């Protein structure tokens, strides 16, 4: 079983965000592998980024996980009902992470359909298929992630990342989603996505 090593995460956050595209996120759940290729990411860097929860090294109970060693999972609740998954980057003490915004399902799509829509895969509408795991809240619901895994070490089951497999199309970047409040940081081109 090949995991991305800690050194992969212990780098500049923008580099990690780009390099995660095409890698395979693995969630072991109920004895099954739920996996997907990472298609979209965003970088958050507390040192200089007003959109980051830990901007200017702000430490609170929630942001404590962002200060953990690289390769730690940071999961938080947003809008009262959705979970977002981040992978902590840079040396311990530098609060920074990559938000996973989109997955393309590989293994376990049947279970993902039940988790996300409560229906079988072959019962999904065209719209449900198209919007299966293409958002941070959607993918967490689809692979059964919640805050109980906050602080989890990504070099151990049941949640980890495997190296890129297969070919990948062009990589694009642009402004991040949903950070209009972040003043000058709202225009940073720190969102990355790949043609698959």
For DNA, the closer CB: 19 or 40: 40
* Radius of gyration, CA atoms only, the chain: 16
Instruction: Using the rule CB under 7 A, give the single segment among 2-10, 13-21, 82-90, 166-174 that binds DNA.
Output: 82-90
Check residue 148 for interaction with DNA (CB under 7 A).
no
Q: How far is the CB of 91 from DNA (least distance, A)?
A: 17
Out of 15, 131, 156, 165, the residue judged to bind DNA by CB under 7 A: 131
3-state secondary structure of 99: strand
Interface with DNA in residues 23-52 (CB under 7 A) = 42, 44, 51-52
Q: Of residues 6, 28, 82, 121, which one binds DNA by CB under 7 A?
A: 82
Copy the structure tokens of residue 91: 């040396």
Q: Give the residue with the Cβ less far from DNA, 31 or 93.
A: 93
Q: Which of 178, 183, 187, 195 binds DNA (CB under 7 A)?
A: 178
81 makes contact with DNA (CB under 7 A): yes
**Is residue 99 part of the contact set for DNA (CB under 7 A)?**
yes
Smallest gap from Cβ 1 to DNA, in A, equals 27
83-121 residues labelled b (16+ CB within 10 A) or e (exposed): bbbbbbbbeeebbbbbbbbbbbbeebbebbbebbbeeeb
Query: What does 125-161 look like in DSSP terms, one character per residue?
Result: -HHHHHTSS-SHHHHHHHTT--GGGTT-BTEETTEEE
User: What is the distance between the alpha carbons of residues 88 and 56, in angstroms, rounded to a whole number?
Assistant: 16
Residue 5 CB neighbour total at 10 angstroms: 12
The neighbour count for residue 47, using CB atoms within 10 Å, is 14
In the list 80, 93, 118, 166, the residue contacting DNA (rule: CB under 7 A) is 80
Q: Coil, strand or helix: which one is 67?
A: helix
Chain positions contacting DNA, by CB under 7 A: 42, 44, 51-53, 58, 60-63, 66, 74, 76-82, 84, 86, 97, 99, 116, 131, 135-139, 176-179, 181
């Amino acid at each position: 079983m090949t995991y991305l090593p800690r050194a992969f995460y212990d780098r500049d956050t923008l580099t990690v965000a780009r390099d995660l595209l095409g890698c395979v996120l693995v969630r072991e759940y109920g004895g099954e592998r739920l996996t997907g290729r990472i298609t979209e990411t965003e970088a958050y860097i507390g040192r200089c980024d007003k959109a980051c929860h830990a901007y200017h090294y702000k430490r609170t109970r929630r942001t404590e996980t962002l200060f953990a060693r690289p390769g730690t999972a940071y999961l938080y609740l947003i809008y009262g009902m959705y979970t977002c998954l981040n992978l902590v980057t840079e040396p311990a003490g530098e609060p920074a992470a990559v938000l996973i915004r989109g997955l393309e399902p590989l293994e376990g799509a049947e279970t993902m359909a039940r988790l996300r829509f409560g229906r079988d895969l072959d019962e999904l509408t065209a719209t449900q298929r198209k919007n299966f795991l293409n958002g941070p809240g959607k993918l967490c619901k689809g692979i059964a992630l919640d805050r109980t895994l906050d602080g989890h070490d990504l070099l151990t089951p049941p949640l980890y990342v495997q190296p890129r497999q297969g070919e990948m199309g062009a990589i694009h970047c642009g402004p991040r989603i949903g950070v209009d409040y972040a003043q000058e940081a709202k225009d940073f081109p720190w969102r990355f996505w790949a043609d698959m």
